[in-house]
Structure 1
Amino acid sequence: MKKIIILTIALFFGIAGMAYLYFSKLGNENNAKDLALQSATNNAAIVFSFQNDKGFYEIIQAQNLIQQVLGEDKIQLLIQLKDLIINDNALNKFIQDQYIYVSVLPDTNKNLNFLITVQLKADEDLNKFNQVIKSKNYITPLQNGQYSLKLQDSVSAYANLNDRVITLSTSLKLINDAAIRLAENPFTDYIKENNAVSRSALAQIYINYNHVPLVLKNILVGKLNGSIEVLNRQNAFASLSYNFSKERILFNGSTTLKDDSSYLKLFEQSAAQVTNIQNILPDNTANYAIYAFDDYKTWFKSLKTIRIKANQITQADQTISSIKNDYRTDLNLIFPLYAKNQFATFQLSTSEKLGAIQLTNGEKVKQLLFDVSTDYSDEIKVFKSANILQVYFGEAFKNFSKPFYAIIDNYLIVANNASTVASFLISYKNNRLMIQNPIYMDAMNQIATTSNISYYVDLRKSQNILRDNLSSKYYKHFMADSGLKTFDTFCYQLIADKNKFISNVLLNKYVQQPIPDSLSIR
């Protein structure tokens, strides 16, 4: 009996020891893998991830749309690096089947640049890798584990090898920044959480919206505004899988909001809706943001909760109270009763900005707003008090303080100029609408029919707007035949799914279908 007890104790400690060694090794391997990810995510707004596999390069090469988005310079750089490293069997064996991360980062002189990060395979000998590097005459050692790579056309790239992690870029600044790894980085944790889900995808793109403004600062001349202004202060992450297509660029995945006070959080718990407010938008609409939910009263209650957390509820209450005292109009008996389940902000190709709110009874609302409005014309009115719409519809309408407005067919249309409202009414009454555009309808056919938030940009009708807002370098790329000129539509769709949004990102090219020859049909 005593021997059995001793053997049992020995067996227990033996198993415990083996388990400790196994999980320690597993933990060390995971930590080693995390080092590459930590370097890739440090300060990055966008991280593109794919497995270093021959099949990936063959598929990507078959579609030239990604090349158009990145531009000739960046594509030529990636091609040269692929020729020097991936196509070199002696080098590639050390990173075969490893995940490669391509990070998009702001660089000096208002430029965006790439940082490429990859982890050496755990079973490969580091000394042998160093020997292979020394045998390459286009690689020159510098200092502190850094190297210079001579590319074609007198272009140089730099690499760094540290803790079996290779970082590579044409910018030494990005190389040095990547060496400062953050042990605690929410973006790194988010990618690790979503990596298992995305392993079957051809490629994955991860977005850190906290750093998106830093990237846009290098692209835009002024501030982030318009329909995408809401992205300016978003503590959010997205994980999107690439769907191969020769006709369009499409990513599907999810977006997670980390900030409970985010305006977009108001739409997270609502069922996705079939929207129709886009049906009234003019044919010269350049971009829009559409917001939808299942019930306005529930949505407005959530809006008030967010304002309480942000200490903004007093300001909204004061606006409602002062209008009640000054004009004997209780706004709480108007919008909470007659607002429907969707609204939109949109911009015309002329840069004019408008808003639209769907109502259940437009004629009744027109009567109830009589005392808080001044007539500009028979159809167009203007609010006497400021911030009415922001009180009831939040951040989307903050730029319409005392707008001109018209109510037509159960829609409240607002703009900061009376002429803009008049222009809308002319288009609407003459049926000159965006939904008649086959380019727009083709793009809508590629994404879900229900959503909570939809961002849309007609790239062709936005040319003048982008010319005024993009730096010359990026506008030139936007207008180039080898760049984005042949694309016509960008869409970003968010569909509520418990505590996150199912997300679709589309960059579309409309291909007109040939009209069949009726004479050839028998």
Structure 2
Amino acid sequence: MRNTIILTILLFIAVIGASIYYFTGLNGEKKETLRPLTFLPEDTFLISTFHNDATTDNIFNDFEIFEALIGKSEMKQWQILKSKLLRNTVLQPYVEGIDIYISLHPEKEHISTLFTIPTHEKMDPEHLAAIMQEANQHFNVTQKDTLGTRIFHLANSRKDFVVHIAYHKEVLFASYSDSLLYKVMDNKAPKLAAAQIDYFVDNNSRNSPLSVYFVHDQVPNIANHLMRNASGNFLRLFEHLGGQSAWNLNFKNDALILSGESETQHRKENYLEVFGQQSKTTQRLFNYFPENTASYLAFAVSNTSRFQQDLEAMFEKRGEWEKIQQQFGELKRSKDLPLVEDIRPIFGNEFAIVEQSNQTQLGFIALSDSSNLSKRIHALASAAGDSIFRFDQANIPYALFGDPFKTFTRPFFIRIANIVVLANNQSVLQTFRQDWRRENLLVNTLGFKNFEKIQGNEANVTFFQRTRTASPIINYVLKPAYGSIFRDKENFGFQDFFSWSAQISGNNGDFLSSIYAIYKSKNALGATADWTYEFDNRPITAPWVFEHSDTSQFILIQEQDHTVHGIHPSGKKLWSAVFQGRIVGDAQQLADRSIVLVTDRNRLYRFDSNGKGLPGFSIALDTEPSYQPTIAELDGQQVVLIPAERKVMAYSLDGKEINRWKENTLDGKILFDIKVRDNRVYVGTDNGHFYQFNAQGEMVKKDVVEASQFRSPIALTAVPDNKIIVMAIDTAGNFVRMDFEHAPEKKQVGSWAGKSIISFDSNNQQNASAVVVIDEKKLQVFGLPDGSARYDFTFTQQVGDRPQYFNNGSLLGIASRENSLIYLFDEQGAVHSGFPIEALPQFYYGKIDYNSGNYLLCVRRDKKLYAFKN
């Protein structure tokens, strides 16, 4: 791939066409007509049409994508034309209910837009003159006769906006280029072919607010018009293809999606035709592509024998097959390795080409059987050191898979899992191998996850271009005029698109095709914050939301220098105070709105909602707390119970230590928090000793789970007869239940690594309803009390942070620190709308004030707390 594939340009053109809604919005039913299209020049780049009804107007009213690609200034001009001209009461009876077409046409240094508006019946010339006379109140209107038609020229006072309007054979034409109007009205100028027009009309969906029509033979012309250099691999797929595509818009406010059908002229020398008799199939190779991927072309074959047959037909048509047979005949004679019979079966049905941000290229080919490669590898290739090989014979990938590998004449390759990765340089492979080991992969980025949710992974051909990594290449390839548009962030929004992509699938000789542009919508969760709060140091706790008064709540969070901040729901600072040490576990609020927490500097704090310490606090503790306190009522008295390794420390709410609790030394280290129910205190330890204490701190019962180790908290649930059951999961994946009367029950529910994270969705007042297990990259959720599997989810990076629970435990929050993504799952395991979002672990989701909506409070690497309204 010599340069990045500039599909961006095609989408840029398509979306310019889409924006005609600002120029329309008239009510009425659709009237099909071929007549308006017969005036369009032969070199038309693209055509689109809108249904002229109120529904279309409403759909696109907040479609940010259009303004991003067309430009703010252009949109304003179209709004003026719409309100001052098309809304004119004299014109409306002629155009009400008419489909309006927009087409794009090449001119010397730019692309000109043509608006084509047929009328129901022939318009009286005096009516048009009256409309122009009224327009004279807002524009400087002049006119002249050309080719027997009167052309009106409308300009604003600064003459930086000029539109030309003509009424020719019962069709209104408008353009910013008068020469384009002359071309349209010139009967001698070549026009679109009748077959092309018929295809557009036949595939123009009545249910789509926008349809787009594209002639394939225009691809080279578009590339030459917009680019400094020759077109890249993707655009070359369309060269000499013939035929056309018709797409219809699928509405989504954070993505442009065009889907439809494509027909070709079945020229066997064209590579894309090899996939015409294939059918869409799952593509998986993108899971291996590096994070710095600028673009890729991925291919998948559903019928191997048909693919091989059509590929050979292509080579024969090009006059290359005999040469390929001669070249590989020597390999068959010398090493008994026939190309089709022995070499092709080594490889699978997927292959791809990746262009990286530094313009280096990688090839990827799936293996059908890695052991088969191991047997044949020394007959095919020679070792180059560092587990890198190089094909002995030139053009093997090209002979097997065709055009994508034409530049990989005699590549080096390595094996990763069940694929081979190719490059023309050993250092490129070494760098990729490092990226693979470090999991620096495209699939681990937030943008690609959003892309995957919109575009599926079933196709025969997929093109993908990532805007951020491809931007330098795009800037270099585009001609200066178009490069400046791409870079202009004030008037345009090209940089706000994560990616551009296209998918093509065989369809009985023709194709199904789709185009996608994924947009970073300003209205999407995580895009535009209601407010931010800046810290001097990195925040180190989750944000908590507590009551501040009868009328408002507030946010509490601690930063790295141990300063604790109280923040108003509007983002304004209420107070701050430096605490001794880092907060351990969670802060908790009591009924009187005071807040209790402990720190790793052996301090117990209790303070009011204004940050003022209550009398007697803070208190020095004898031992460092191992987790957050539990505040419970024992024998009618509020007690603060603090886990501290092998002891339980207890304090009254006025800061007095209850010494009798210190007398108990446990046989293991306390796991997380202490549970309290019905005047009984329950504690679990890492070596399988579980305790039940009474309200006075006396051990009542003890259970020991033999041959088990624990790294998870305990949970409580009530069974018939109000008996309390203690639940835990050991490091071997056993679900353990204890009632302190019978032998503990064990049930194997999983097999996990010793460092798996296990959590229950409960607090001291609730029965646990689910257990959450995070085993490296895999999330599993089991229902309680039976331990039945509910759902699972696999992340692309290892998860090392504990789960969080929101909305009374119905929403599960998971943070992936490695790629700075946070997830929110509902009770059915579906990812909550708007997630994942780029942020650091420890966040909050829910109301931030009594009457507020739901907010996401999260921290990013810039040391700011962000408040995003959902």
Q: 1:415 aligns with which of 423, 431, 440?
A: 423
Partner SS state of residue 159, structure 1:
strand
Structure 2, unmatched stretches of 5+, are 1-30, 527-541, 545-803, 809-870
> Matches of residues 86-235 of structure 1 in structure 2 within 5 Å?
86-109=86-109, 111-122=110-121, 124-133=122-131, 135-136=133-134, 137=136, 138-144=140-146, 145-152=149-156, 153-154=158-159, 155-179=161-185, 180=189, 182=191, 184-195=193-204, 198-235=205-242
Q: TM-score, normalised by structure 2?
A: 0.53
Matched, 1:433 2:432: no
Instruction: Find the counterpart in structure 1 of residue 562 from structure 2.
Output: none
Is the CA contact 1:91–1:132 (under 8 Å) kept in the aligned structure 2? no
> Matches of residues 226-245 of structure 1 in structure 2 within 5 Å?
226-245=233-252
In 1, the alpha carbon distance for the partners of 2:85 and 2:216 equals 32
Instruction: Find the counterpart in structure 1 of residue 553 from structure 2.
Output: none
Residue 73 of structure 1: CA displacement? 4.4
The structure having more radius of gyration, on CA atoms, is: 2
Range with greater deviation from structure 2 (496-505 or 410-419): 496-505
Residue 510 of structure 1: CA displacement? 4.7
Residue 56 of structure 1: CA displacement? 2.7
In 2, the alpha carbon distance for the partners of 1:215 and 1:185 equals 22
Cα distance 1:305–1:82, how it changes in 2: closer, same or farther (>3 A)?
same
Structure with the bigger RCO (C-alpha within 8 Å, sep 6+) is: 1
Cα distance 1:338–1:269, how it changes in 2: closer, same or farther (>3 A)?
same
In 1, the alpha carbon distance for the partners of 2:517 and 2:256 equals 5
Partner SS state of residue 382, structure 1:
strand
Partner SS state of residue 294, structure 1:
coil
In 2, the alpha carbon distance for the partners of 1:519 and 1:449 equals 32
Q: Render the CA deviation track for 1:373-398: whole Å, top value 9, x for unaligned.
A: 34332322233443221111011111
> Matches of residues 29-44 of structure 1 in structure 2 within 5 Å?
33-40=33-40, 42-44=42-44
Residue 367 of structure 1: CA displacement? 4.4
Instruction: Find the counterpart in structure 1 of residue 517 from structure 2.
Output: 507
Q: Render the CA deviation track for 1:83-124: whole Å, top value 9, x for unaligned.
A: 332122222332222121111221112x122111121213x4
In 2, the alpha carbon distance for the partners of 1:76 and 1:477 equals 17
Q: Render the CA deviation track for 1:322-349: whole Å, top value 9, x for unaligned.
A: 4445666433343322221111111111
Is the CA contact 2:40–2:192 (under 8 Å) kept in the aligned structure 1? no
Instruction: Find the counterpart in structure 1 of residue 493 from structure 2.
Output: 483
In 1, the alpha carbon distance for the partners of 2:398 and 2:73 equals 44
Range with greater deviation from structure 2 (278-287 or 466-475): 466-475
In 2, the alpha carbon distance for the partners of 1:211 and 1:320 equals 37
Partner SS state of residue 43, structure 1:
coil
Is the CA contact 1:297–1:336 (under 8 Å) kept in the aligned structure 2? no
Is the CA contact 2:296–2:465 (under 8 Å) kept in the aligned structure 1? yes
Q: Render the CA deviation track for 1:214-247: whole Å, top value 9, x for unaligned.
A: 2232222211114444234432422111122222
Q: Render the CA deviation track for 1:482-516: whole Å, top value 9, x for unaligned.
A: 32111111121223333433333211135675699
Residue 365 of structure 1: CA displacement? 2.5
Cα distance 1:340–1:516, how it changes in 2: closer, same or farther (>3 A)?
farther
In 2, the alpha carbon distance for the partners of 1:520 and 1:183 equals 60
Partner SS state of residue 91, structure 2:
helix
Identity of aligned residues (%): 19
Q: Render the CA deviation track for 1:138-186: whole Å, top value 9, x for unaligned.
A: 4432222141322334122223332222322112232233233537343
Is the CA contact 1:373–1:383 (under 8 Å) kept in the aligned structure 2? yes
Instruction: Find the counterpart in structure 2 of residue 390 from structure 1.
Output: 398
> Matches of residues 286-435 of structure 1 in structure 2 within 5 Å?
286-324=294-332, 329-435=337-443
Letter in structure 2 aligned against 1:212 = V
Instruction: Find the counterpart in structure 2 of residue 247 from structure 1.
Output: 254
In 2, the alpha carbon distance for the partners of 1:193 and 1:310 equals 33
Cα distance 1:92–1:140, how it changes in 2: closer, same or farther (>3 A)?
farther
Range with greater deviation from structure 2 (456-465 or 37-46): 37-46
Q: Aligned-pair RMSD on alpha carbons? A: 2.7
In 2, the alpha carbon distance for the partners of 1:516 and 1:487 equals 31
Cα distance 1:36–1:424, how it changes in 2: closer, same or farther (>3 A)?
same
Q: Render the CA deviation track for 1:449-500: whole Å, top value 9, x for unaligned.
A: 4221111111111112212212233333333333211111112122333343
Range with greater deviation from structure 2 (130-139 or 436-445): 130-139
Cα distance 1:352–1:308, how it changes in 2: closer, same or farther (>3 A)?
same
Instruction: Find the counterpart in structure 1 of residue 539 from structure 2.
Output: none
Cα distance 1:279–1:134, how it changes in 2: closer, same or farther (>3 A)?
closer
Letter in structure 1 aligned against 2:345 = L
How many residues are paired up?
Answer: 488
In 2, the alpha carbon distance for the partners of 1:521 and 1:199 equals 43
Partner SS state of residue 461, structure 1:
helix
Partner SS state of residue 94, structure 1:
helix
Cα distance 1:232–1:78, how it changes in 2: closer, same or farther (>3 A)?
farther
Instruction: Find the counterpart in structure 2 of residue 493 from structure 1.
Output: 503
In 2, the alpha carbon distance for the partners of 1:32 and 1:63 equals 26
Instruction: Find the counterpart in structure 1 of residue 472 from structure 2.
Output: 464
Instruction: Find the counterpart in structure 2 of residue 64 from structure 1.
Output: 64
Residue 72 of structure 1: CA displacement? 3.2
Is the CA contact 1:227–1:455 (under 8 Å) kept in the aligned structure 2? yes
Range with greater deviation from structure 2 (224-233 or 398-407): 224-233
Is the CA contact 1:52–1:95 (under 8 Å) kept in the aligned structure 2? no
> Which structure shows the bigger proportion of residues in helix conformation?
1
Residue 49 of structure 1: CA displacement? 0.7
Cα distance 1:377–1:102, how it changes in 2: closer, same or farther (>3 A)?
same
Is the CA contact 1:53–1:97 (under 8 Å) kept in the aligned structure 2? yes
Structure 1, unmatched stretches of 5+, are 1-30
Partner SS state of residue 237, structure 2:
helix
In 2, the alpha carbon distance for the partners of 1:230 and 1:289 equals 11
Partner SS state of residue 496, structure 2:
coil
Residue 366 of structure 1: CA displacement? 4.8
Q: Render the CA deviation track for 1:409-464: whole Å, top value 9, x for unaligned.
A: 23121122222122222212332221122210211111234221111111111112
Letter in structure 1 aligned against 2:237 = V
